[in-house]
Chain A
């Protein structure tokens, strides 16, 4: 990355790293306290809980993997469960990449950095990336993603032995924090009307498909809800024009 007029890439990397004190990062860390408690309860040893945090990173996928381990399912079954729930990462990454890259950004770098994309990084980056000069957006994201991931790896390692003593109500609150935070922050950071329509439909379709096709519910809700929202928005716009 070359030095552009104004601030350097290093400046933007640390600017991203400072996102560790942002509301999204703090909420995520609280959610990781909740996850750590769940891992302890499930009997996942410290080393494996830390390893999962670094290697999987996406919180829902980790919860599902621990659930699969608890249920004693086979390796292919666990793989399929986690993989199906993680398909959502693909459109999230695909939506974020065009905001982040320049023509000169090497693909291998994006492949490497994509590991740090999960819901929180998506929300944080979508919210702020437009205020970062395009040539430094990759540095900004790398700073945030790497810092937050490292911090949570350390967090899980440090609190593992004490987290079992959390009062039940506090532990429940920590699991509740994540969906409420996602709901409000995604709503606030969505810039297009299509996004708000997609959100409303997705909220309804998630539970609906959970009844009909529990293994594929998220996937169906996303594809059908997103496509519906896209066309509703198109017709709305066309109607406003005529």
Chain B
């Protein structure tokens, strides 16, 4: 099977990225343009497409929090969930101020880790 390490040349990884990365993403953007060109503004079809796009993004958000990559994996899932929930509540209560939601969520994420660390040390 051809993979990332198949050819020992400088250019092969770039070809690999161009096919598996660039082509794999841009074909959907091009299809989106062709579909979007046929959608009338304020039509029911556009409302449906927008609802599907929103639902997709929501699923991405949930996955980024529940099944994260990188360093976030080392933060317990309970801490992540409490942080995002409290942050979202703060966002709603302050008249949808995005920076408030982010600041509160991050403080709970850091605070939760400190508390857990302290609890582990004490126990």
Contact = CB atoms under 8 A, between A and B. Distances in A.
Interface of A: 23, 27, 34, 37-38, 41, 45, 47-48, 51-52, 55-58, 60-63, 65, 67-69, 72-76, 78-83, 86-99, 101, 107, 110-111, 114-115, 117, 119, 122, 168-169, 171-173, 175-188, 190, 192, 194-195, 197-207, 209-210, 217-219, 221-227, 229-230, 233
A27 B102 contact: yes
Interface string B1-27: 111110000000110111111111111
Q: Identify the 9 closest CB pairs spanning chains A and B, nearest first.
A: A93-B32, A202-B58, A97-B36, A206-B59, A226-B52, A222-B56, A225-B55, A221-B59, A202-B55
Interface of B: 1-5, 13-14, 16-37, 39-41, 46-72, 74-75, 80, 83-84, 87-88, 91, 96, 98-99, 101-102, 105-106, 109-110, 113
A82 B20 contact: yes
13 contacts: A58-B25, A74-B1, A78-B16, A88-B28, A90-B32, A96-B36, A173-B106, A182-B61, A192-B47, A202-B61, A206-B66, A225-B59, A227-B51
Given A72-B5, A96-B36, A229-B55, A206 B25 contact: no
Give the dominant DSSP class at A's interface: helix
A184 B102 contact: yes
Given A23-B99, A65-B21, A119-B57, A230 B51 contact: yes
B20 A75 contact: yes
A119 B25 CA distance: 13
B32 A227 contact: no
A168 to B, nearest CB: 5
B13 to A, nearest CB: 5
A86 to B, nearest CB: 4
Give the dominant DSSP class at B's interface: helix
Nearest to B64: A179
